[in-house]
Amino acid sequence: MAPKTPPQNTVTDSVFRLSRTQSPENTKTLVESREVKTVNGKPATSEDVDGPTVLSGLFEGALAVVSLDQAACTNYTLQKINSKRPGDSYSIHFATVLTPKNADACFLQEESSGRAVIDSATMQLKHLEITTPHHIITDGDSSTLRLVGKRKLTIEYAPVLLGGESFWMPSLITMLNTGGSGFHTTSWSFRATYRNYHRREVTSRLLPADAAPKP
């Protein structure tokens, strides 16, 4: 038997930015960006993190998983609520129903299933888990093959105060990708904690052309 490959871990410290932009169709989207500060405690030499476990789109797209807009792509089942505990969270189970006709408009582009937990007091998403049995872990290129395996993704949300308003934002994201078969499997895990949220603001003042700024 071949010796077992020891686990390889990479720890990054990054600044994560989320900007709301408006498209020509007057719809607003959230654009995510990351600035990697350190890798394993040392200054980063590149902003690209190597590996198949880098995630994006979860701040905006996660809410779309349980949106009415996705009803054509997904079957939803609301777990029965205990009448003796009316304050309990709502639990919604879902599974995709992708077809060639509806796939282009679906947020989840791979057959998946999972569960969403909604806070009953605020009606905000507080927990989301998605399992994709045949997830494309890496697309592959001219020198490597496409790798397909199982993905388990979990997101925890918590209220954050920004500009005097409360927003439910990701506090913890974990993911496990497992590819290969038999004794030759490889697992990639991703764990990210989000903290120190603050609102970025810019203040500007327009002056007449003949007005000189005060020293």
Give the model confidence (pLDDT) of 88-140 as tens digits. 899 999 999 999 888 888 888 899 999 999 998 998 899 999 999 998 887 77
Given a contact cutoff of 8 angstroms between Cβ atoms, the answer to whether 124 and 161 are in contact is no
Residue type, 164: G
Q: What is the four-CA torsion angle of 190, 35, 163, 69, rounded to 10 degrees?
A: -50
Place of tokens 């880098």: 54
The two tokens of residue 40 are 């394993």
- Pick from 172, 78, 160: nearest CA to 120: 78
Residue type, 185: T
150-192 confidence digits (pLDDT tens):
999 999 999 988 878 888 888 999 999 888 776 777 888 888 8
46-66 confidence digits (pLDDT tens):
655 555 556 666 666 677 788
